Amino acid sequence: MNKFFEKNMTIVLLAIIGYFLFSISNSLKESAKYDSDLRACAKMKAFINDKESSKLFEQEAASKTGIKVKFVGEYCKKLTQQNLF
Protein backbone atom coordinates (compact mmCIF):
# COMPACT_ATOMS: atom_id res chain seq x y z
CA MET A 1 0.00 0.00 0.00
CA ASN A 2 2.87 2.35 0.81
CA LYS A 3 4.49 1.85 -2.64
CA PHE A 4 1.17 2.53 -4.36
CA PHE A 5 0.85 5.83 -2.47
CA GLU A 6 4.41 6.86 -3.38
CA LYS A 7 3.85 6.18 -7.10
CA ASN A 8 0.60 8.11 -7.18
CA MET A 9 2.09 10.98 -5.19
CA THR A 10 4.73 11.61 -7.86
CA ILE A 11 2.08 11.58 -10.58
CA VAL A 12 -0.05 14.06 -8.61
CA LEU A 13 2.94 16.34 -8.02
CA LEU A 14 3.92 16.22 -11.70
CA ALA A 15 0.34 17.05 -12.67
CA ILE A 16 0.31 20.05 -10.32
CA ILE A 17 3.62 21.31 -11.68
CA GLY A 18 2.37 20.86 -15.25
CA TYR A 19 -0.80 22.80 -14.45
CA PHE A 20 1.17 25.73 -13.02
CA LEU A 21 3.55 25.80 -15.98
CA PHE A 22 0.61 25.81 -18.38
CA SER A 23 -1.03 28.61 -16.40
CA ILE A 24 2.13 30.72 -16.45
CA SER A 25 2.49 30.13 -20.19
CA ASN A 26 -1.06 31.38 -20.89
CA SER A 27 -0.50 34.43 -18.72
CA LEU A 28 2.68 35.31 -20.61
CA LYS A 29 0.87 34.96 -23.96
CA GLU A 30 -1.88 37.33 -22.82
CA SER A 31 0.69 39.85 -21.57
CA ALA A 32 2.59 39.71 -24.84
CA LYS A 33 -0.59 40.33 -26.85
CA TYR A 34 -1.57 43.25 -24.63
CA ASP A 35 1.91 44.80 -24.92
CA SER A 36 1.91 44.30 -28.70
CA ASP A 37 -1.48 46.00 -29.03
CA LEU A 38 -0.36 48.85 -26.80
CA ARG A 39 2.81 49.34 -28.87
CA ALA A 40 0.83 49.39 -32.13
CA CYS A 41 -1.54 51.98 -30.68
CA ALA A 42 1.35 54.12 -29.47
CA LYS A 43 2.87 54.11 -32.97
CA MET A 44 -0.46 55.05 -34.45
CA LYS A 45 -0.89 57.95 -32.02
CA ALA A 46 2.70 59.15 -32.52
CA PHE A 47 2.05 59.86 -36.20
CA ILE A 48 -1.47 61.26 -35.83
CA ASN A 49 -0.50 64.67 -37.32
CA ASP A 50 0.90 63.26 -40.57
CA LYS A 51 -2.02 62.04 -42.72
CA GLU A 52 -0.09 59.51 -44.83
CA SER A 53 1.78 58.00 -41.91
CA SER A 54 -1.35 58.08 -39.79
CA LYS A 55 -3.29 55.95 -42.29
CA LEU A 56 -0.38 53.54 -42.63
CA PHE A 57 0.06 53.06 -38.89
CA GLU A 58 -3.70 52.85 -38.40
CA GLN A 59 -3.82 49.95 -40.87
CA GLU A 60 -0.80 48.36 -39.21
CA ALA A 61 -2.43 48.66 -35.78
CA ALA A 62 -5.63 47.15 -37.16
CA SER A 63 -3.78 44.15 -38.56
CA LYS A 64 -1.79 43.57 -35.35
CA THR A 65 -4.79 43.88 -33.05
CA GLY A 66 -7.25 42.02 -35.26
CA ILE A 67 -9.74 44.91 -35.10
CA LYS A 68 -11.30 46.56 -38.15
CA VAL A 69 -9.65 49.83 -39.23
CA LYS A 70 -12.92 51.60 -38.56
CA PHE A 71 -12.83 50.67 -34.85
CA VAL A 72 -9.10 50.62 -34.10
CA GLY A 73 -9.09 54.21 -32.83
CA GLU A 74 -11.76 53.46 -30.24
CA TYR A 75 -10.01 50.22 -29.26
CA CYS A 76 -6.74 52.07 -28.70
CA LYS A 77 -8.52 54.72 -26.67
CA LYS A 78 -10.01 52.09 -24.34
CA LEU A 79 -6.73 50.21 -24.17
CA THR A 80 -4.77 53.27 -23.06
CA GLN A 81 -7.46 54.21 -20.53
CA GLN A 82 -7.09 50.78 -18.93
CA ASN A 83 -3.35 51.32 -18.66
CA LEU A 84 -3.73 54.47 -16.52
CA PHE A 85 -3.41 53.99 -12.79
pTM: 0.67
What does the pLDDT look like over 2-32, one tens digit per residue?
A: 777 677 888 888 999 999 999 999 999 989 9
- pLDDT for res 85: 45
φ/ψ (deg, to 5) at 28: -65, -35
Q: Quick one: DSSP state of residue 85? A: -
CA 65 to each of CA 4, 14, 22, 24, 75: distance values in angstroms, whole numbers, following the listed order: 51, 36, 24, 22, 9
Locate the domains of the chain by residue range.
2-83
